[in-house]
Every structure is written in C-alpha cells, then in structure tokens.
Amino acid sequence: MRPRVLRATNIVLGLLCLMYFLTYIDRVNISTVVASNQFLKEIPLSKVQIGFVFSAFAYPYLLFQIIGGWVADRFGPRRALTVCGIIWAGATIATGLVHGLVSLFVARVILGFGEGATFPTATRAMSYWTPKEKRGFAQGITHAFSRLGNSLTPWMIASLTIAISWRGSFIIVGIVSLAWALIWGLYFRDDPNKHSGVTPEEIATLPPYGLKKAADVKVPWSRLTARMAPVTIVYFCYGWILWLFLSWIPSFFKGQFHLDLKTSALFASGVFISGVVGDTLGGIVTDKVFEKTHDQKVARCNMVAVMMFLCGVSLVPLMFTRNLNFVALALSAGFFFAEMTIGPMWAIPMDIAPKFSGTASGLMNTGSALAAIVSPVIGGYLIQKTGNWMLPFMVSVGVILIGAVLSFTMHPEQPLADA
C-alpha cells in the first residue's frame, strides 16, 4: 500500500502548489528589486515608470486568461502548463539581463504571456484530479502557496540581491522554474485514469473524465461569458487590492517609514504571510460551509461578501495612525481577509461550468488581470503627486466594499446547462 501522502492525486496537488509558489516569486520579485539602491543606480526610474513596469506583466496576462483557459480545455493542462512554464522561466532569466526601461518592460510582457494561462489551466487540472467536495480546499491551498511566495520573496530576493546581485536573483529563480516545467510534463496526465500511479480508490472519488477529442470541444461562449460576468467584476475588486499590495508594499515600508531594504522586506513578508493563512483557511471554511448547508451560494457568495467587508474595515485605521507596528497589523489583517475570498472565488468556475472550468476561470481572472494594469499605475501616480503613501490604500477600501455588495449577483448554485 502506498502512503496516503504519496498518492498521485496528492503529488499532482503538490506540483500545482509549487507552480503557484514559483509563479508569484517570478512576478513579484521585481517589486523588491526596484526598491534596492543597486537596481536604481543601474536603471533609474520614476515612480510612474516603476508603476508601468509593474503593470507591463498584466497586459498579456489579461489577454491570455481566456485564450489560455480555452487552450487548457481544448488540449489539456499537461501540454499547456509545460509550454507556459518554459516561457515564464525564460522571461525571468531574461529579466536579469536587461539594461534599460524598454528591455525591462519587454521582459515583463513576456513573463505575463507565459503566466497568463497558468491559473485557468491549473483549475482545469483540478477539475478532474480533485473531488467536488474538496474544490475549495484545493484552490485555497494552491493560492496559499502563491502567498507564501509573496511572503518569502521580499526577504529572499533582498538577500540574493545583497549576496550575488539583483541580476543573479532573477537567473536563479528562472532556472528553478524551468526545472518545474520539465517535471510537470513528465509526471502529469490529463486523464487520471491514464496515470500509472493512480489507485482505484482515488479514481472512485474523482469526477468522471469529460474531455473529448480536441476538435469536439466547443465552448458555449455567449452563455458562459454572461454567467461569469458578475464573477469577473467581483474579482476585479479583489484584484485591485491584491496588485496594490504586491506592487507597492515593499516600497511602502521603505518610503513611508524610511527603513533599509532588508527591514522593509521583513515587514512586507509579515504582511504577505497573513495571506498564506487566509488562503488556506478560506478554502477549508468554504468547503465546511458547503458540507453543512449544501448551498453553494451561502458557501461561496456570502463568504466572499463578509470577507471583503472585513478587508475594507481593516484598512480604515490607516487614515488615523502612522505607527509602524499598527500600520503593519492593519495591512496584514486587510490582506488576510482579502485572501479568505480566494477559495470560494476559484471554486465558483468549477461550480458553474466544470466541463469548461479552464475557460470559466480565465474569464474570471481577467478581472484581476485588468486590475493589475490599472491599480499599480494609479497607486504610483497618487504617491508621486501627493507624497502620501496611505492614499492608494484608502482608495482600495471603496473598491473592495463595492465588491462585497456585488458578490450577491454571482450564482454558483446554478450550473451552466448543457446545450
């Protein structure tokens, strides 16, 4: 008998957790690097230019949400994630070789191209490798690893930058990402039944595999887009908070409180680690609520509304204090509650359209990708024009409260009917 932890379903989930971890290191390491004097001496940038560099990733990331989700539904996540991994790893390595604003912008665009399809494709993989009653946990734990990547990146990249240079830090994490892509391609199978390591007991808990031949997969675009539109809007509101935190938190502590690079990275890591707990707990809670109520609207929508409201409330004290420790606690609480929404939000595409969960989650994640374009630039503009590092977070309070209200327009309890 194979130990439960080494079962194929757990190994696949573990590989996906590692992918989420690496993708977030590769996308947010730039925010730590640009806060270093070493980088700014080589490539001096204004706050607005830095905002555009942060958002460069999001343009192709937005475009390839839907395209990538469709590719995953049509050709399977094995090939899709392998190719994506090779592209994003190459872009990360290339970032360590840039010498100006234009080449840096291009490298970030290629990174967005490679990572654009990753989360929708991973959701497609989970749809047939995860029991229905554990969808929230699977989404929560994988996203928790992405936040673990967030939390470790400031400290890890700052240490690598001091030890070997900011260029070397990009090259090292790019090589690790490339190794992941090769392992995924060798181990994973789109159909669990065709994996040599899957046990009959595991197969009995999984949904029946429903991917037909590529030519026969036809996405009901109009119906699916209409059903996912409210989910996309709510996820935009979440994404606004997320990308503001990912882009500006390391620089926030350095600029607002005049800390050195390693100390500001330590505070940033503290904020991001709260997201690890929030993601994990959010997935567990939404599954438990669904188990007790058998009501997907309660388990998904109600939970999202409550957590977004608590996120907004947690950030309000930023208007009244400049105490470093209290500000760090308020930001940590806000990020914790924002991340509690991840498990239920990413379970919704699988609830609404399990056969097209790659495309559905891609449609949803366009909301976050659009926020990734707008939020960092507006944040940089507000900081540069006013010198007030708190102002972008105050704007975010209004955005997240709008998301809390609109969460009741989502309907995960109504699956998309087959044509």
Q: What integer is the mean pLDDT of 115-141?
A: 84
d(CA 228, CA 247): 27
Give per-residue pLDDT as tens, 86-118.
999 999 999 989 888 889 889 999 998 898 888
- pLDDT, tens digit (0-9, with 9 covering 90-100), for 340-373: 999 899 889 988 987 888 788 889 988 988 898 8
Phi and psi (nearest 5°) for 339?
-75, -20
Does the pTM exceed 0.85?
Answer: no
Range in 51-55, 231-235, 259-263, 321-325 the model is least confident about: 259-263
User: What integer best gives the mean pLDDT of the chain?
Assistant: 86
- Predicted confidence band at 214 (pLDDT cuts at 50, 70, 90)? very low
Q: In three state form, how does the secondary structure of the chain look?
A: CCCHHHCHHHHHHHHHHHHHHHHHHHHHHHHHHCCCHHHHHHCCCCHHHHHHHHHHCHHHHHHHHHHHHHHHHHHCHHHHHHHHHHHHHHHHHHHCCCCCHHHHHHHHHHHHHHHCCHHHHHHHHHHHHCCHHHHHHHHHHHHHHHHHHHHHHHHHHHHHHHHHCHHHHHHHHHHHHHHHHHHHHHHCCCCHHHCCCCCHHHHHHCCCCCCCCHHHCCCCHHHHHHHHHHHHHHHHHHHHHHHHHHHHHHHHHHHHHCCCHHHHHHHHHHHHHHHHHHHHHHHHHHHHHHHHHCCHHHHHHHHHHHHHHHHHHHHHHHHCCCCHHHHHHHHHHHHHHHHCCHHHHHHHHHHHCHHHHHHHHHHHHHHHHHHHHHHHHHHHHHHHHHCCCCHHHHHHHHHHHHHHHHHHHCCCCCCCCCC
Domains and CATH numbers, the chain: 4-192+220-409 (1.20.1250.20)
pLDDT for residue 408: 94
Burial string for 301-312 (b: 16+ CB within 10 Å, else e) reads bbbbbebbbbbb
Burial of 160 (0-12, 13-18, 19+ CB in 10 A): buried
221 CB-side CA count, 13 A: 5
